[in-house]
């Protein structure tokens, strides 16, 4: 009996399928085998397609976050908009995680893909809310 990687359920219906890995560099992609129950195969294939399509964009967008933090740290006390940059940066990271709820392949080993998507989206929602509240309250001041 295998465990479905999407929902985490164990069943005799779970089968192995081969899909292309989500490695960002297209040339480095390889086939991985995934155990999946029949009703989740379509969802898994669609999710993997999405991750493959946006993996690079996701990496670029999340790489902007530390840069934004460094920028706002440099600007604090010098420019009035430093606090806005700080909060916009946080809200933007939250949005990126909601739109692209991707996490590393190794995460799927200890939780199902469906759970990891939900967790990343909830995290993104909290981060987005924090940034938005900061923007509305105008805190912290630059």
Give the interface with Zn ion as residue ranges (CB under 5 A): 4, 6-7, 37, 40
Taking the complex as a whole, the smallest distance from the CB of residue 120 to Zn ion amounts, in Å, to 19
Taking the complex as a whole, the smallest distance from the CB of residue 37 to Zn ion amounts, in Å, to 4
Taking the complex as a whole, the smallest distance from the CB of residue 52 to Zn ion amounts, in Å, to 21
- Alpha-carbon distance of 73 to 5, in angstroms, equals 41
Between 113-137 and 41-75, two packed helices, what is the crossing angle to 10 degrees?
30
> Which one, 34 or 37, has the nearer CB to Zn ion?
37
> Which one, 4 or 96, has the nearer CB to Zn ion?
4
> Which one, 16 or 136, has the nearer CB to Zn ion?
16
Tell me the backbone φ, ψ of residue 104, rounded to 5 degrees: -70, 155
User: Left (φ > 0), alpha (ψ -120 to 50) or beta: where does 21 sit?
Assistant: beta
């Amino acid at each position: 009996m295998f465990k479905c990687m999407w929902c985490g359920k164990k069943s005799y219906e779970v089968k192995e399928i081969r899909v292309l890995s989500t490695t960002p560099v297209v040339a480095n992609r390889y086939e991985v085998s995934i155990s999946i129950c029949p009703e989740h195969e379509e969802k898994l294939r669609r999710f993997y397609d999405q991750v493959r399509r946006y993996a690079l964009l996701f990496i670029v967008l999340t790489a902007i976050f530390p840069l934004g933090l460094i920028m706002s740290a440099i600007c604090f006390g010098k420019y009035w908009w430093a606090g806005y940059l700080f909060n916009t940066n946080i809200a933007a990271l939250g949005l990126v995680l909601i739109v692209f709820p991707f996490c590393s392949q190794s995460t799927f080993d200890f939780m199902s893909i469906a759970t990891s998507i939900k967790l990343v989206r909830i995290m993104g929602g909290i981060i987005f809310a924090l940034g938005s509240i900061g923007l509305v309250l105008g805190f912290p001041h630059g």
